[in-house]
Structure 1
């Protein structure tokens, strides 16, 4: 993989990840863009002890444009996009409408392909391996930025999830705080270690790997539906070796992940009546706290609001208001359906 960095017309960074060995000739960004959006604001909720991001400038972001106006497709002729190149394999760039910006963090877009009509599931193991390498590279670079506490890599897919651009892409947030979800997970891991002397994530993996909810497994990874799944489709993917983040994966683990993840996404798309809407999120260790990094374990969690053909799960009052989830589909049933898909 060859990496090339450049800048867009308003100064934002863009990074190309090319699979061939040639030299990329970087075309200039000829757009006349307004100055970068003003910075976001973090506000502290003292009741829940959580940060809340205020990003009012995002109200004006691009919303479901027609395919011939997609800002993530390659540029060509008079059509100038966020990617000033006639083609690309994988590309990352700073979000034009970031939830976090300036001293409060950084948000990047990662485009998986120049093909507007493909999906991550259809790209094949080679491209998925390039994407895994790009995830790891962005995590490593963003982790080194001053003030960054955690790097969150994720993909939102489908209008049912709230996606505003259909081009296959994900996002990467460099956060100036550790997410509430991570803090709670690590509190549980700390308590489990104090009570048992063991690693909570290793114990979860060992239990699930021996049970009926495994969907896929290879030498380095296991994908399973968790026993207490909250969503009608929910799959967790654990590496067999305890590593804190994506950069810590070796070459064999990255290749095995690309193969298993593509298989999993293909099965997910065959479950119901069309492409599965989902959120796919990498949980990585906090950046600069050795104690927390020793407790954490890299893992992927994928979930969908689709509960049946033509039917979505909407969060009810107990779920949205009180955080008490109920699932209409048994996790064992979801695991069986994915194995058979």
Structure 2
């Protein structure tokens, strides 16, 4: 069946489809793709979608904790022939029916959602949704709400192994266009306040699938990390990110510079490997990037990731977290930026978050940021 098509930036073609249980599936075809317009229908007999998880408020911190029991049933390091993110075959009833370039679909075992799909009404409406920011901040013991939101899987490639850093520039550009498109779509869903694209890489990080992929979470609240960021902006000034870029640009921690982007190890880095990548111009999220900024990001981001992998003889585990401004606040001050972190402090050693970091949030750095930046700079330039 030919999926409805829309042409996005850089010649990327978006094709919308549905999985057998009603979950949304979107194909993003590379410019000049050799794939046909027709896509197979998902003919699997699937169990009904799980009930939406419930989140509970931690009265000591004000944080909301999603209790997503369905995640216990997710795939855990399956053999390559049963890769659930590979295109379906007679022997592998995976999540993606057709061969693809990039594919995005709703997670079968989500931490947030499923939320009501306005286009089809396929997913049930939340039984007890948050009633806005004031509701989420209301004090009291034993408070809970439905975990309204969406969790999506972003498949970077049909190949069974790899990561974002192993993709071509063309494929990286397609993924960036997918991130921007999904950010816009998820931000428009009822009750969503923040959209977070990320990639977990390596079993040491907790990855359960070796397939090259990332995820996107759409939260019903502003996350704890971003609330701290908003407090910093209020304390330091609305031009905080502009001043950070200017400060780091003049210092010894720059790792990579380009016309539109700059990568640096932050002045007070926590992790043994920690590098930030930010646009020079203010952009609250991926949707605000221009085509030249997206084009350059595809090249710059690959150079950075490949440099990280040249630090050691084996691939480095990391979390690549793309921080975006909330949907409804701080759009003029909170800037899109990547925070890539790794616990790898030596070829055969990891940094564990023990008593001080885990219990008190009081970090102790193992490697001076200037030293870490010099190593990264050399690896990126190799």
**TM-score bucket of the superposed structures, by smaller chain:** over 0.9
Q: Distance in 1 between matches of 2:90 and 2:37?
A: 19
Structure 2 residue 54 is matched with structure 1 residue 54: no
Alignment check: 8 A CA contact 1:213 1:336 kept = yes
- Counterpart of 1:100 in structure 2 is 112
Query: How far does residue 44 in structure 1 lie from its aligned partner after superposition?
Result: 0.9
Does residue 139 in structure 1 map to residue 220 in structure 2? Answer: no
Do the aligned residues in 1 keep the contact of 2:162 with 2:210 (CA within 8 Å)?
Answer: no
Deviation per residue, 1:106-144 (Å, 9 max, x gap): 100000000112321121211111111000000000001
Deviations 1:201-260 (A, max 9, x none): 111111101111000010000000001000000000110000111000000000111111
Long gaps (5+) in structure 1: none
Partner of 1:279: 319
Which of 171, 177, 180 is residue 127 of structure 1 equivalent to?
A: 171
Instruction: Say whether the 8 Å CA contact 1:190–1:295 is kept in structure 2.
Output: no
Mapping 1:234-273, distance limit 5 Å: 234-273=274-313
Q: Does 1:232 align with 2:272?
A: yes
Deviations 1:144-163 (A, max 9, x none): 11110010111111000001
For the residues of structure 2 that align with 1:327 and 1:147, how far apart are their CA atoms? 38
Q: Note the aligned Cα RMSD (angstroms).
A: 1.1
Which residue is equivalent to 2:153? 109
Q: How do 1:162-181 and structure 2 match up within 5 A?
A: 162-181=206-225
Q: Which whole-Å CA distance do the structure 1 matches of 2:312 and 2:50 have between them?
A: 40
Residue 72 of structure 1: CA displacement? 0.3
Q: Does 1:317 align with 2:355?
A: yes
Q: Is the 8 A contact 1:273 1:310 kept in 2?
A: no
In the superposition, the TM-score normalised over structure 2's length comes to: 0.86
Alpha carbons 2:83, 2:92 under 8 Å: kept: no
* CA-CA distance at 1:47 after TM superposition: 1.3
Structure 2 spans left out of the alignment, 5+ residues:
1-11, 115-125, 127-147
Q: Does 1:214 align with 2:258?
A: no
1:305 paired to 2:343: yes
Equivalent residue for 1:293, pick from 318, 331, 356 = 331
Q: Distance in 2 between matches of 1:327 and 1:128?
A: 32
**Alignment check: 8 A CA contact 1:150 1:178 kept:** yes
1:328 to 334, 356, 366: 366
SS at match of 1:294: coil
Within 1, Cα distance between the matches of 2:255 and 2:320?
16
> What does the per-residue CA deviation read over 1:14-61, in whole Å, with 9 as the maximum and x for residues that have no partner?
000001367521201121111111211111112111111110111111
Contact 1:280 1:303 in 2 (8 A): yes
Q: Distance in 2 between matches of 1:57 and 1:93?
A: 17
Report the CA distance between 1:288 and its aligned residue: 2.1
| Residue 75 (1) aligns with residue 88 (2) | yes
Show the counterpart of 1:8.
19
Give SS of 2:186's match: helix
Mapped partners of 2:343, 2:51: distance in 1 = 33
